[in-house]
Amino acid sequence: MLETILQNVINALQWGSFYALIALGYTLVYGVLQLINFAHGDVFMVGAYIAFFVATFLLGIAGMPGWMALALTIPLTMILTSAVGVTLERIAYRPLRRKGANRLYVVITALMCGLILEHANLAVLGASRKAFPPLITETVYNVGGVTFTNLKLGVIFTAFAVFIFLHWVVTKTRVGMAMRAISYDKFAVPLMGIPMDQIIVVTFVLGSGFAGLAGLLFAMSYPVLEPYMGALIGWKAFIAAVVGGIGDIRGAFLGGFLLGAVEILVVAVFPSSYRDLFSFSVLLIILVFKPTGLFGIAKTTKI
Amino acid sequence: MMTQTQTQAESSPVLEIQGLTQRFGGLTAVNDFNVALQPGELAGLIGPNGAGKTTVFNLVSGFYQPSEGAIRIGGKPTAGLKPHKVTALGVARTFQNIRLWNEMSVLDNIRVAQHGTLGYGFFHAVARSRTYQAREAEIEREARELLEVFQLDKYADELPKNLPYGLQRKVEIVRALSEKPKLLLLDEPAAGLNSVDIQELIRLVRWIHETFPVTIWMIEHHMDVMMELCQRIKVIDFGQTIAEGTPEVIRNHPAVITAYLGDDQI
Amino acid sequence: MLRRYSVPMLLILAGGLLTYCAYEEMLGLYTLSVLMFMGINIILSTSLNLVNGYMGEFSCGHAGFMCVGAYVSSILGVLLFTKDKVFGEPWLDPSLALYAFPLIILAGGAAAAVAGLLVAIPSYKTRGDYLAIITIAANYIIISLIQNIDTVGGSRGFMGMKSVISSMEDAADLPWMVIWVFIFTVFTVWVLRRYVSSTFGKGVSAICQDEVAAEIMSVNTNKIKTISFMVSSGLAGIGGALFAYVIGYVNPGSFNILKSTEVLVMVYLGGMGSLSGSVLSAVLFTVLLEALRPLQIIKWIVIPLLLVVLMQFRPEGIMGNKELGDIFPWLKRFYRFK
């Protein structure tokens, strides 16, 4: 009995790590820009594909051994995925921000960019799924009836490490302070001499970079890639971020793991086709009762 | 036209507030506030910024539920009622920052304010029944008459955002009046007006008070407006009443002067 | 005289002409199906415009309500009027199919309207982004629910509606689906127009522009929100029902977030708060989709790109929040649009 519980806990932590990593990106951008970056889930997908190409190249053409390829793939994927995120910001969101456009228009643009990414992938690479090459040998450990692999541990460890890093950035560095300042009052910030555009770029770099990392880890754990893989995960991670309390990275982190826990639990008890039904329902119920999320602060309207 | 002094003989106050206290987290915005407004009065509420005046208005409108205390309009309690139900009891108000619906014509602004007494619903609206047609005709006629009374009829089809600020303020007041309230709450009506418009406002409010059977309660910072118009003024600071009386009494009241200007002890 | 009856006469003429052409097979099957999809798209885009345009919310799950309407009316039709593997013999005589059909479609709409409460009730307390998420979640929930109901085929889908249509055609040999789509399209635009042009319906705009003022100026905001969400999703249900019958097959996957996005595109293309804009954009969008058919792969790159460009240079859409009569005032001489 205890073993099954522990097993589910490990699975939930691993599965939730992906949601948490992606949710962190959503919440960073929302906290600073009040923008739901609907394209973020697809940035995750792009990250996975970038990882695929980089890894295939390094392993195949460059002929590197697995661990070395991995060591190089991680930074390369993160950098390239950040580039994608920043490009999106530059050509789609910034012009609208300059014009002072209504938030709704930026959100719609984000939604459309996500669609473009998905279908551009489909058009260029075709509908056939890609198999991610194995980079490391998975060793399975068995401790008292609970099985897990080194990969699973790596994923969980990475998620926590990223969170601690981001928490440090947001609370202890000047960049982080600027990010928080923008989220409180974006008109005062440039007046105080803070280069808002640069801070926003940093936000996107962080958010997209970690989405790319999540993409790489996901591809390693579930080595089949297809263009729509970001869509569903992206939506769910976003909802998880909101349930946690959007704008607060603790909320995103917690929300991601909460969702992971719910899904693993559901699959343990019910047939797997009920998974999405339950996750969305639970999220919906939490939102109805606590609309600002678990960590969120209610905003009062001033009359 | 019945003068206001005669109606004061009636018994129940239009607005009665007892022991009103409002807390927002750790902050007490209103503390044991009491008032009784008789029908036909023109009363004022003043106090420094942040004293809690608009909070009192918001509580009376039903936008917040009080932490403690009771509010009664024409004898009926407002506890637990949503704002539109409180309006139905006979209260209408204007806002510190003008809240007109800027994408709708002035006439439509007045018409939508009649929602509480529309008397028809979705199905009548779609089917265009007799009830609907009669009621719509009536609403339009009354709205246009009201605009004419206030010489706003030529702006009936204008969008409020295209009107000068002073006129917008007037439209907002007329919109509130169109609900035929017993109690009219005016929240800083002179805010943002130039001196010419302020004189116009004073004339307007006085004229409304003399022509319509309505009790008016005003929040204002412009002392000349208050002194000219109000029969009775209440002063609050930090959510509590610090003085009450006729304009002359208030003008020289030491507590009021201290609240606004500070005292000699630094 | 002309002003009063011009619009109804024009519509009857158009409907009659359409039916005649369809009957005499002057318009091919392909053209007819495009026209029917155009009608359905008009229903979808105008109904979503009520919530996203007039009321200023951001509802992203419209296809979920289509799905409810599609399934309820398909199941009803097959159950009542056809012999089917799942349900067995028809419950009623197939020759009655013709008279019951509009009721079946309306039943789908009613079910979808009830589903609309899923979104309406949370809307009392939340707005904007939070409500958007709730609508997305609702869309996914509805789809997953149906995917788990095996009796109606789950993710494999459900069919049998074509037999209902043949029963109708047996009773009277007319192109019935064309007629019904036309009638319901006109019905939808008529209902919505009458709703928003009444003082009651203007409360919706008031909530959009300043909800606090609306609440305090005697508008029962919760009631208006409920009615608007239910009308919007109910009409979407009607659109979904017609969609199911036209194709003859439904599966939950066709009502996913991609379909919802299609409807979003139509609304923002046409202009929030403009009924004529939504009609226009639905027509344009359907034509665009057909024109891009040979370029299937880049269809879903062109359409989002179109909207991105639109957001940059003309975010208010084709018509903004004006109606046809506002842009071409001379038209007002020919009809009374009340």
Contacts of B102 (CB under 8 A, 6+ apart): B159, B160, B161, C209
Give tens-digit pLDDT for C137-189: 899 999 999 988 888 888 888 888 888 888 888 777 778 888 899 999 999 99
Question: Which of B:88-107 have CB within 8 Å of A?
Answer: 95-96
Give C65's pLDDT tier (boundaries 50, 70, 90): very high
Average pLDDT score over residue span A5-11: 86
Using CB atoms, pick whichever of B118, B120, B128 lies closest to residue C194. B128
Using CB atoms, pick whichever of B61, B114, B122 lies closest to residue C195. B122
Average pLDDT score over residue span A158-187: 86
Query: What is the C-alpha to C-alpha distance for residues A80 and A57, in angstroms, rounded to an integer?
Result: 15
Judge whether A281 is closer than 8 Å to chain C, CB to CB.
Answer: yes
pLDDT value at position B148? 93
Average pLDDT score over residue span B56-84: 90
The strand pair at B215-219 and B183-187 is best described as parallel
The conformation of residue A90, written as its DSSP 8-state character, comes to I
Query: What is the C-alpha to C-alpha distance for residues A13 and A158, in angstroms, rounded to an integer?
Result: 11
What sign for the dihedral angle of Cα A96, A99, A105, A107? Answer: positive
Question: Which residues span the domain enclosing C229?
Answer: 2-333
- Chain B closest-CA separation from residue C129 CA (Å): 23
Mean pLDDT of chain C: 86
Query: What is the C-alpha to C-alpha distance for residues B155 and C198, in angstroms, rounded to an integer?
Result: 21
- Chain B closest-CA separation from residue C76 CA (Å): 26
Query: What is the C-alpha to C-alpha distance for residues C176 and C186, in angstroms, rounded to an integer?
Result: 15
Q: Which residues in chain A have Cβ-Cβ distances shorter than 8 Å to B58?
A: 303
**pLDDT of A181 over the 90 cut:** no
The DSSP element (H or E) to which A230 belongs, if any, is: helix A229-245
Structure token pair of residue B23: 């807390």
Give C335's pLDDT tier (boundaries 50, 70, 90): low
Using CB atoms, pick whichever of C202, C210, C321 lies closest to residue B108. C202
Report whether B111 contacts C202 (CB < 8 A): yes
Q: Is A135 helix (H, G, I), strand (E, B) or coil?
A: coil
ipTM: 0.86
Whether A303 and C212 lie within 8 Å, measured CB to CB: yes
The DSSP element (H or E) to which A224 belongs, if any, is: strand A224-225
| C338 is a domain residue | no
**pLDDT of A228 over the 70 cut:** yes
pLDDT value at position C244? 94
Judge whether C271 is closer than 8 Å to chain B, CB to CB.
Answer: no
Report whether A89 contacts A204 (CB < 8 A): yes
Among A182, A213, A205, A43, smallest CA distance to A117 is for A43
Average pLDDT score over residue span A265-280: 85
Catalogue all structural domains in chain A, each as residue range(s) with its CATH number. 7-289 (1.10.3470)
Structure token pair of residue A111: 């939604």
Average pLDDT score over residue span C92-117: 88
SS (H, E, C) chain C: CHHHHHHHHHHHHHHHHHHHHHHCCCCCHHHHHHHHHHHHHHHHHHHHHHHHHHCCCCCCCHHHHHHHHHHHHHHHHHHHHCCECCCECCCCCHHHHHHHHHHHHHHHHHHHHHHCHHHHCHHHCCCHHHHHHHHHHHHHHHHHHHHCCHHHCHHHCEECHHHHHHHHHHHCCCCHHHHHHHHHHHHHHHHHHHHHHCHHHHHHHHHHHCHHHHHHCCCCHHHHHHHHHHHHHHHHHHHHHHHHHHHCEECHHHHCHHHHHHHHHHHHHHCCCCHHHHHHHHHHHHHHHHHCHHHHHHHHHHHHHHHHHHHHHCCCCCCCCCCHHHHCHHHHHCCCCC
Q: Which residues in chain A have Cβ-Cβ distances shorter than 8 Å to B55?
A: none
Q: Considering only alpha carbons, which residue of chain A is nearest residue B53? A: A303
Q: Which residues in chain C have Cβ-Cβ distances shorter than 8 Å to B93?
A: 216
Give tens-digit pLDDT for C184-205: 999 999 999 999 999 999 999 9
- Chain C closest-CA separation from residue B84 CA (Å): 4
B257 versus C228: the higher-pLDDT residue is: C228
Contacts of A270 (CB under 8 A, 6+ apart): A278
Whether C126 and A287 lie within 8 Å, measured CB to CB: yes
Q: Per the structure, how many domains does chain C have?
A: 1
**pLDDT of B10 over the 70 cut:** no
| C225 is a domain residue | yes
Give C84's pLDDT tier (boundaries 50, 70, 90): confident
Paired residues of B46 in beta bridges = B235
Query: What is the C-alpha to C-alpha distance for residues C144 and A235, in angstroms, rounded to an integer?
Result: 15
The DSSP element (H or E) to which B257 belongs, if any, is: helix B254-261
Among C142, C123, C141, C140, smallest CA distance to C131 is for C123
Contacts of A156 (CB under 8 A, 6+ apart): A10, A13, A14, A17
Give tens-digit pLDDT for B135-194: 999 999 999 999 999 999 999 999 999 999 999 999 999 999 999 999 999 999 998 888
Q: Return the CATH number at C317.
A: 1.10.3470
Contacts of A302 (CB under 8 A, 6+ apart): none
Look at the domain B4-103+180-261 and name its fold: Rossmann fold (3.40.50)
Q: Considering only alpha carbons, which residue of chain C is nearest residue B83? A: C216
Contacts of C60 (CB under 8 A, 6+ apart): A111, C132, C135, C136, C139, C257, C260, C261, C264
Angle at C205 between CA B156 and CA A108, to 5 degrees: 130
B12 versus B162: the higher-pLDDT residue is: B162
Q: Which residues in chain A have Cβ-Cβ distances shorter than 8 Å to B95?
A: 303
Using CB atoms, pick whichever of B87, B102, B132 lies closest to residue C216. B87
Least reliable range by pLDDT among A190-194, B131-135, C88-92: C88-92
Whether B175 and C194 lie within 8 Å, measured CB to CB: no
Mean pLDDT of chain B: 88
The conformation of residue A57, written as its DSSP 8-state character, comes to I
- Chain B closest-CA separation from residue C200 CA (Å): 7
Q: Considering only alpha carbons, which residue of chain A is nearest residue B98? A: A303
Give B264's pLDDT tier (boundaries 50, 70, 90): low
CA C275 to chain centre: 13
Query: What is the C-alpha to C-alpha distance for residues B258 and A98, in angstroms, rounded to an integer?
Result: 47
Query: What is the C-alpha to C-alpha distance for residues A278 and A262, in angstroms, rounded to an integer?
Result: 8
Average pLDDT score over residue span A174-179: 84
Average pLDDT score over residue span B219-228: 87
| C140 is a domain residue | yes
Give C333's pLDDT tier (boundaries 50, 70, 90): low
pLDDT value at position C331? 66
pLDDT value at position B2? 47
pLDDT value at position B263? 65
**pLDDT of C337 over the 60 cut:** no
Whether C198 and B136 lie within 8 Å, measured CB to CB: yes
Query: What is the C-alpha to C-alpha distance for residues B84 and B245, in angstroms, rounded to an integer?
Result: 32
The DSSP element (H or E) to which A142 belongs, if any, is: strand A140-143
Report whether C180 contacts C107 (CB < 8 A): no
What residue ranges do the domains of chain B occupy? 4-103+180-261
Structure token pair of residue C154: 């789950």
Among B172, B196, B68, smallest CA distance to B112 is for B172
- Chain B closest-CA separation from residue A302 CA (Å): 10
Give tens-digit pLDDT for A111-143: 889 989 999 998 888 878 888 888 777 778 777
> Hunting for tokens 């958007």 — which residue is that?
C132
Judge whether A280 is closer than 8 Å to chain C, CB to CB.
Answer: yes
Please count the residues of chain B. Answer: 266
What sign for the dihedral angle of Cα C130, C135, C139, C144? Answer: positive
The DSSP element (H or E) to which A147 belongs, if any, is: strand A146-149
Whether A115 and C261 lie within 8 Å, measured CB to CB: yes
For chain B, where are the E strands, in sequence order? Answer: 15-24, 27-37, 42-46, 68-73, 76-77, 91-93, 183-187, 215-219, 232-237, 240-245
| C155 is a domain residue | yes
Give B6's pLDDT tier (boundaries 50, 70, 90): very low
pLDDT value at position A292? 76
Q: Considering only alpha carbons, which residue of chain C is nearest residue B94? A: C213
Angle at C16 between CA C10 and CA C19, to 5 degrees: 140
**pLDDT of A161 over the 90 cut:** yes
Report whether B217 contacts B45 (CB < 8 A): yes
Q: Considering only alpha carbons, which residue of chain A is nearest residue B54? A: A303
Query: What is the C-alpha to C-alpha distance for residues A103 and C200, in angstroms, rounded to an integer?
Result: 29
For chain A, the residues whose C-beta falls within 8 A of a C-beta of chain B are 303
Interface test with A, best of C55, C117, C136, C209 (most A CBs within 10 A): C136
Please count the residues of chain A. Answer: 303
**pLDDT of C338 over the 50 cut:** no
**pLDDT of C132 over the 90 cut:** no
Amino acid at B133: Q
Q: Considering only alpha carbons, which residue of chain A is nearest residue B63? A: A303
Give B7's pLDDT tier (boundaries 50, 70, 90): very low
Query: What is the C-alpha to C-alpha distance for residues B195 and B216, in angstroms, rounded to an integer?
Result: 22
- Chain B closest-CA separation from residue C83 CA (Å): 37
**Hey, how many other C-beta atoms are within 10 angstroms of the C-beta on C99?**
10
**pLDDT of C92 over the 80 cut:** no
- Chain C closest-CA separation from residue A179 CA (Å): 21
For chain B, the residues whose C-beta falls within 8 A of a C-beta of chain C are 61-63, 82-84, 87-88, 92-93, 95, 99-104, 108, 111-118, 120-122, 125-128, 132, 136, 139, 175-176, 179
Q: Is B34 helix (H, G, I), strand (E, B) or coil?
A: strand
Q: Considering only alpha carbons, which residue of chain B is nearest residue A300? A: B24
Using CB atoms, pick whichever of B61, B103, B114 lies closest to residue C216. B61
C317 to each of A44, A94, B131, C169, C325, how far by Cα in Å?
31, 20, 37, 41, 17
**pLDDT of B11 over the 70 cut:** no
C235 versus C92: the higher-pLDDT residue is: C235
Amino acid at A12: A
Which subunits sit against B, judged by 3+ Cβ pairs under 8 A? A, C
Interface test with C, best of A106, A112, A228, A286 (most C CBs within 10 A): A112
Report whether B193 contacts B165 (CB < 8 A): yes
Give C257's pLDDT tier (boundaries 50, 70, 90): confident
Structure token pair of residue B46: 């003043």
Report whether C276 contacts C267 (CB < 8 A): no
pLDDT value at position B161? 92
Query: What is the C-alpha to C-alpha distance for residues B264 and C1, in angstroms, rounded to an integer?
Result: 81
Q: Is B129 helix (H, G, I), strand (E, B) or coil?
A: coil
Highest mean pLDDT among B135-149, B229-243, C27-41: B135-149
